[in-house]
Structure 1
Amino acid sequence: MQWLNYHHLLYFRVIANEGGIARAAEKLRLGQPTLSSQLKQLEDMIGKPLFERRNRKMVLTEAGRAALDYANEIFRLGDEMIEVLQDRTSQNQTHLQVGALDGVPKSVILSLVLEAYKVGPCTVSILEGKGDELFRELAAHRIDLVLSNYPPPAEQKQMFAKSVAKLPVAVYGSKQFQSLEKSFPKSLDGKAFVLPTMHSRLRHDLEHYFKLQNIQVLPAAETQDTSLQRLLAANGIGLTALSEVAIEDVRDKDLKRIGRLSGVHEEVWLMSAQRKLENPIAAKLMKVFSLR
């Protein structure tokens, strides 16, 4: 039986990622002849060339591309194993790492944390950020769960998502817009709005609502950051539509509630990624956590 030499696999992976032996040797602090020899041994063991030279560049062969996919998965699983086992054995409680999008109400994050403590002894780390960043961290297993106000991209096939909350949405504005309460929602026609960005599920639901009500609004600004939406609206840039829970979280005195949008909700999703060694707290939360 032939045994895979993980040093050879590591050297191959660095060469592929760095685009050549010279840069890989510099990164690994090895001599180029040594690195070339190690790569040759791996190719001899596999029985196929992993690179071909084109215009003085090293380009992966078909076998090389397949080998790199396996190498990435092997080292990812190794990192995951160390992280999970260290978390479980270094202390009597599990370390749960949660990512939350900027637009998720703080009270929803709090509810998840409290539920985690009920599930079992744990330490919770919370990372707030943007969707693409957090989805990458989740896919790489550097965090265990993500709370988002939109589902994961379709190409993220190794992610699991479930809807955990549907929050009622209302229109808010500065004092100058308070008179719009009287004939709401028709009074919104022709008014400036601070809207969520187009990739947001709420943005599409708002546009559908306005179309059904024969209301045309004027986009004054777009942002997925609810704190920025509130700030812009409070300074009279335009009206904004936010979940009532998000407003309750901050008790914003500069924003006045104009009216609730019937049938419009902001949905919150809880996501995890497929992994060989599950975080037990995260796995249980995926089953039991819900604010519906």
Structure 2
Amino acid sequence: MAALNYHHLRYFWVIATESNLTRAAERLHVSQSALSIQLRKLEESLGQALFERDGKRLVLTEAGRIALDYANAIFRTGDELFSLMHNRPVGAQQVLRIGAVATLSRNFQLQMLKPLLGQAQIELVLRSGSLRDLLAQMHTHTLDLVLSNRPVPRDAEINWHSHLLDEQPVSLIGKPSPDAEPFQFPEDLRWASLLLPSVESEIRAAFDFILEQAGIRPRVLAEVDDMAMLRLLCRESGNLALVPPVVVQDELESGMLVERCRIPGLKERFYAITPSRRFPNALVRELLLGSKKEEVTP
């Protein structure tokens, strides 16, 4: 069995860091041709291509991303040895990279990630953005998992998997009022002023459909694509907000806000999106086993 050449691995690590063979060669003070030979030897020993070309850039393949993770861990272990000898011990960690769409409840994310928090051997990398941007990052192997409030269709190029994690009711939330009458849905919405998720939201589309069927057009004060901001506006404005109660669970528990009306038949669903990979991150499987309800094919 061939032994790993750590000299080749160091060269690979520099190339991956620079994403460019010329710059890596200059940094290592070797010729570009010599560096290419060393990289090819490493790929041959591993039996996997580690890079693919994108114009003048070198982009890591899935195997390359795995190799880079191990290279980082190997060189970090070397740093740990040095630190240990100088009475500065540090611990090795596994890395889990998670993206979450900006519209997703922060409280739900916290509940999802709570089993991993406080584990010294796990490093979490959390990123937020649009679903399209996060899927693009996962396609290039810079994310292991994307949390979303809608499933992703499979296509011919990428076999996405949408794992249903949970579903929550959706309610109209507002400040408490001792004189408030019981809310009559949907009739009372004829006079209400609302804070709503943006039109891109699935719960907003379903809510609009319900009101259209009832012939009601409420006054919309704000459309917000960030649940954290919707939560703050609800707290500060005194107007009703359409949100899953999990978004404002702290305020509901403290009495700062109250649930005025639960919308019949309306739910928000939470998904973990993963790609098909030959080398899946073991932490993803561990996380899904504790949370997943089912896999969904849109």
TM range (shorter): 0.5 to 0.7
Which residue in 1 is equivalent to 2:130?
A: 131
Compute the TM-score of the two structures, normalised by the length of structure 1. Answer: 0.64
* Structure 2 counterpart of 1:75, one-letter code: L
CA distance in 2, matches of 1:261, 1:280: 38
The alpha-carbon deviation at position 279 of structure 1 amounts to: 0.5
Which residue in 2 is equivalent to 1:231?
A: 232
The alpha-carbon deviation at position 268 of structure 1 amounts to: 0.6
Residue 77 (structure 1) aligned to one of 62, 72, 77: 62
Which residue in 1 is equivalent to 2:280?
A: 278
CA distance in 2, matches of 1:73, 1:217: 53
1:187 equivalent in alignment to 2:178: no
Which residue in 2 is equivalent to 1:49?
A: none
Which residue in 2 is equivalent to 1:201?
A: 202
Cα separation, partners in 2 of 1:114 and 1:230, compared to 1, 3 Å: closer
Q: Contact 1:170 / 1:259 at 8 angstroms: preserved in 2?
A: yes
Secondary structure at the counterpart of residue 61 of structure 2: helix
Cα separation, partners in 2 of 1:192 and 1:241, compared to 1, 3 Å: same
CA distance in 2, matches of 1:160, 1:104: 18
CA distance in 2, matches of 1:178, 1:152: 45
Which residue in 2 is equivalent to 1:151?
A: 151
Which residue in 2 is equivalent to 1:171?
A: 172
* Structure 1 counterpart of 2:143, one-letter code: I
- Say what the alpha-carbon RMSD is for the aligned residues: 4.1
Q: Contact 1:150 / 1:267 at 8 angstroms: preserved in 2?
A: yes
Q: Where do 5+ consecutive residues of structure 1 fail to align?
A: 1-5, 15-23, 31-37, 39-66
CA distance in 1, matches of 2:199, 2:206: 11
The alpha-carbon deviation at position 96 of structure 1 amounts to: 1.6
CA distance in 2, matches of 1:186, 1:97: 45
Secondary structure at the counterpart of residue 179 of structure 1: coil
1:253-282 CA deviation, whole Å, 9 max, x = no partner?
A: 543321111111111111122333210121
- Count of equivalent residues: 238
Q: Where do 5+ consecutive residues of structure 2 fail to align?
A: 1-11, 27-32, 34-51, 78-90
CA distance in 2, matches of 1:115, 1:266: 22
CA distance in 1, matches of 2:227, 2:244: 10
CA distance in 2, matches of 1:275, 1:244: 35
Identity %: 19
Q: Contact 2:104 / 2:226 at 8 angstroms: preserved in 1?
A: no
Cα separation, partners in 2 of 1:129 and 1:68, compared to 1, 3 Å: same
Which residue in 1 is equivalent to 2:265?
A: 263
Q: Contact 2:99 / 2:129 at 8 angstroms: preserved in 1?
A: no
